[in-house]
Amino acid sequence: MLPSPSTLKIITIFLTSTFLSFLITPFIIKFAKKFNLVDDPKKRSHPAHTHKGKIPRAGGLAIFLAILITILIFIPQTPQVTGLLISASIITFVGILDDKYDLNPYLRFFTNIIAVSITIFSGINIPYITNPFTSGVLHLDTLKITIPLINFQFNLFADSVALIWIVWCMNMINWSKGVDGQLPGFVTIAAIFIGLLSFKFYSLGDQTQLIPITLSAIIAGAYLGFLPFNFYPQKIMPGYSGGSLAGFFLAVLAILTSAKLGTALLVLGIPIVDGVYSIIRRVLSGKSPFWGDRGHFHHRLLDAGWGRRRIALFYWGVSAILGLISLNLESTQKLFTFVLFAILLGGAYLWITYFSNSSKP
């Protein structure tokens, strides 16, 4: 059977985004070097560093430009799309500033909230979520507050939950970019699987899925085109903007239809679970959860003797396996699978930490 016209179009969009990202990235490498947007461990000591030598940090700008151009070409402009682009522009701008000046993490977190709020106000929120323990749904759009001066209606729970979810994903995914090729690989895989689920609904007659399918192809392509320059030995890093943009767009894709929240939670299992454990670990040790350290899962794997390529491939492989599993599970099954995976990853984290410590002279 020949692919349908819509399938051919999605492939074209994916390849366009991939080509643009691949084409733009070398120019961004030169741009970053010229304006000193580089990470030099000798001048900027950070416990999370895993690289040596000067590496350009502005990879997020190349990814953003590829996404922006492809969206403007292929997606009709609506208030929601405009809101997404404005939010992404703010995230990228803050990321470039961070690449240059190493902004305070609390300031970055505050700008995350501002950027995401624009997307929320454009009309993207979570009106309901599937109840994993029953056949029904949990409605979040029941309490609406109107702001008279600007005639804006605020959905207290639907908007607040969406804000928390997106900001959460931005930070969790951004933390999982410490090894060459790690982030763009699993982001590409995650976007593909979210897009596949959207395509499944679209094939069943849900025409509203066309935008998330298209956006998934764009995000996957942009990070895939960036991957050759970030894979070991990396020539450029995603930077704060690259990691935050990944979390932002994947979180938005996940809530364009509520049925995909569970899929996103599962396919992004490693960065999300690692982020939760990192926050708990930092709080229990009396440290701020916002300040980075050398305690993430990829750091533990490095300490255990794993190479950078192996760690990146491990993240990709686990994300792909969880993505395949998620396509055939119901909401309750996805929840229990995620809990089981979190327990297994926690056990692996503790074992690697114990093994690494016990094997040191």
Q: What is the model's pLDDT at position 9?
A: 92
> Per-residue pLDDT for 360 more than 50?
no
Please tell me the total count of domains within the chain.
1
* 356: in domain: no
Residue with tokens 């982030």: 183
* 24: in domain: yes
Q: What is the model's pLDDT at position 135?
A: 63
Pairing between strand 144-147 and 137-139?
Answer: unpaired
Query: Residue 187's beta-bridge partner residues?
Result: none
Q: C-alpha distances in angstroms, 37 versus 43, 46, 88, 99, 350?
A: 13, 16, 19, 5, 36
* 298: in domain: no
* 50: in domain: yes
Can you say whether the dihedral through the CA atoms of 224, 228, 229, 233 is positive or negative? positive
Average pLDDT over residues 266-278: 91
Amino acid identity, position 321? I
Query: Quick one: tokens of 349?
Result: 């984290």
Q: What is the model's pLDDT at position 358?
A: 44
Average pLDDT over residues 138-163: 81
Average pLDDT over residues 209-238: 95
CA 360 to chain centre: 34
Containing 161, the helix (H) or strand (E) segment is: helix 156-174
* 46: in domain: yes
* Domain of 149, in residue numbers: 5-261
Name the DSSP letter for residue 258. Answer: G
Helical axes 5-34 vs 59-74, angle rounded to 10°: 150
Q: C-alpha distances in angstroms, 132 versus 100, 238, 261, 337?
A: 44, 35, 11, 12
Neighbours of 222 (CB within 10 A): 36
User: Is there a contact between 217 and 195 (Cβ–Cβ < 8 Å)?
Assistant: yes
* 274: in domain: no
Q: Which residue did the predictor score with more confidence, 201 or 71?
A: 71
Q: Which residue did the predictor score with more confidence, 164 or 353?
A: 164
> Per-residue pLDDT for 202 more than 70?
yes
Query: Residue 153's beta-bridge partner residues?
Result: 146
pLDDT-derived band of residue 44, with 50, 70 and 90 as boundaries? low
Average pLDDT over residues 50-55: 70
* 270: in domain: no
Q: What is the model's pLDDT at position 43?
A: 65
Helix spans in the chain (H): 5-34, 59-74, 79-101, 105-121, 156-174, 182-203, 210-230, 239-256, 261-267, 269-284, 297-303, 308-326, 331-358
Q: What is the model's pLDDT at position 144?
A: 80
Cβ burial, residue 340 (10 Å; 0-12/13-18/19+) = exposed
Average pLDDT over residues 282-293: 85
At a CB cut-off of 8 Å and minimum separation 6, what does 172 contact? Answer: 247, 268, 271, 272, 274, 275, 276
* 359: in domain: no
Maximal C-alpha separation, the chain: 68
Q: What is the model's pLDDT at position 1?
A: 41
Q: Which residue did the predictor score with more confidence, 48 or 63?
A: 63
